[in-house]
């Protein structure tokens, strides 16, 4: 998960409030200002009287040559290293990322932050944003804080839909509203997940609940930040889940509530290439998968030959982590 730290030194109350309201992970402030921050909101502070102390927990390192890289790698294993590049070339960051060092790049704008997060496709995991412009700060946090990259989704062809009786289904209520074309990836197999659409659609009987994904049965997998999977039944308030758009764009959302209730269930079988895949969802008009065009498709109208969006990968999972071994799930 990306972290965005904010430098508000010298003290600037407007900058601090913007950082708090926009979800900054921590704020660097002048010594003696930690309590002033705590009066405004709950957040990690960096200063002599803060949660993280410069010199002890945090090191500001100005890299001047490749000879500094080994020292930075050693420091990064012990504390937060905020790395300043003298000419803001990306080569030092590329080298450090390749060596596995977890450093925070010191950046001064949205463009620099976006570049740092995208280096070597993997990017740094955290940045320290040093700007005096509250609007630039808000733009950076709003656009980059929840965004986590993209996935290559594929089309799955429905081959069968049938009633299977009662089961325990999971509704995931998140702390954000989703848009048309967005939802969560859910499936019987961790290597084949269907894009279950959020409840953004109005109908004569139920108001839209765009914060909700009526995701599937308790045993099903879903994706969470970091490329891991978890069982739907494991989630609880405060956990993060991946929100995925039909074009593959990933963001994240915090779980606010989980609702597990007994409901009639449908088994949906499909084909991705020559591989059979499946998921189990509640039998109700309001539960929808997602078409290749991003349209919500009610599961009660699905028929053989229909195409819906899914994510498929080779290999298996061990405690939610991807492993390169053959695992057969039926």
Domains of the chain: 3-145 (3.20.20.70), 154-323 (2.170.16)
Rounded mean pLDDT, 164-172 = 97
Q: Is the peptide bond before 290 cis (omega within 30 degrees of 0)?
A: no
Instruction: Report the C-alpha gap between 156 and 276 in whole angstroms.
Output: 9
Instruction: Rounding to the nearest 10 degrees, give the CA dihedral for residues 154, 156, 157, 158.
Output: -160
Instruction: Report the C-alpha gap between 313 and 323 in whole angstroms.
Output: 11
Rounded mean pLDDT, 30-38 = 93
pLDDT at residue 254, as a whole number: 93
Q: Which of 105, 81, 80, 79 has the alpha carbon at shortest distance from 92?
A: 105
Extract the tokens encoding 275: 């591989």
* Residue 68 pLDDT exceeds 50: yes
pLDDT band with cut points at 50, 70 and 90 for residue 258: very high
DSSP 111: H
Mean pLDDT of the chain: 88
* Residue 321 pLDDT exceeds 50: no
Q: Which of 302, 307, 329 has the alpha carbon at shortest distance from 316?
A: 329
Question: Rounded to two decimals, what is the model's pTM?
Answer: 0.70
Which residue bears the tokens 């929840």?
146
The size of the chain, in residues, is 330
* Cβ count near 273 (within 10 Å): 11
């Amino acid at each position: 998960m990306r972290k965005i730290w904010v430098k508000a030194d010298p003290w600037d109350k407007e900058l601090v409030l913007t950082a708090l309201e926009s979800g900054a992970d921590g704020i660097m402030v002048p010594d003696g200002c930690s309590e002033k921050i705590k009066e405004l909101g709950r957040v990690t502070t960096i200063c002599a009287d803060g949660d993280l102390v410069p010199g002890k927990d945090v090191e500001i390192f100005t890299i001047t040559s490749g000879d500094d890289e080994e020292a930075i790698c050693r420091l990064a294993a012990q504390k937060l290293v905020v790395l300043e590049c003298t000419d803001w070339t990306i080569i030092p960051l590329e080298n450090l990322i390749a060596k596995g060092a977890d450093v925070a790049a010191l950046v001064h704008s949205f463009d620099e932050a976006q570049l740092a997060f995208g280096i070597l496709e993997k990017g740094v995991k955290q940045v320290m944003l040093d700007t005096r412009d509250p609007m630039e700060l808000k733009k950076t946090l709003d656009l980059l804080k929840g965004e986590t990259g993209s996935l290559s989704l594929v089309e799955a062809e429905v081959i069968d839909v049938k009633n299977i009786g009662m089961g325990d289904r999971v509704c995931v209520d998140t702390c954000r509203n989703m848009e048309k074309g967005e939802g969560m990836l859910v499936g019987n197999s961790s290597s084949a997940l269907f894009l279950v659409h959020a409840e953004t659609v109005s109908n004569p009987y139920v108001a839209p609940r765009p914060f909700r994904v009526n995701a599937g049965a308790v045993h099903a997998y879903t994706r969470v930040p970091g490329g891991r999977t978890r069982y739907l039944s494991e989630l609880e308030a405060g956990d993060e889940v991946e929100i995925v758009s039909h074009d593959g764009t990933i963001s994240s959302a915090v779980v606010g509530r989980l609702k597990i209730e007994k409901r009639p269930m449908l088994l949906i079988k499909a084909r991705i290439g020559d591989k059979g895949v499946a998921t189990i969802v509640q039998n109700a008009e309001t539960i929808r998968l997602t078409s290749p065009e991003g349209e919500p498709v009610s599961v009660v109208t699905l028929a053989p030959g229909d195409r819906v969006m899914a994510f498929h990968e080779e290999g298996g999972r061990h405690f939610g982590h991807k492993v390169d071994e053959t695992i057969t799930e039926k």
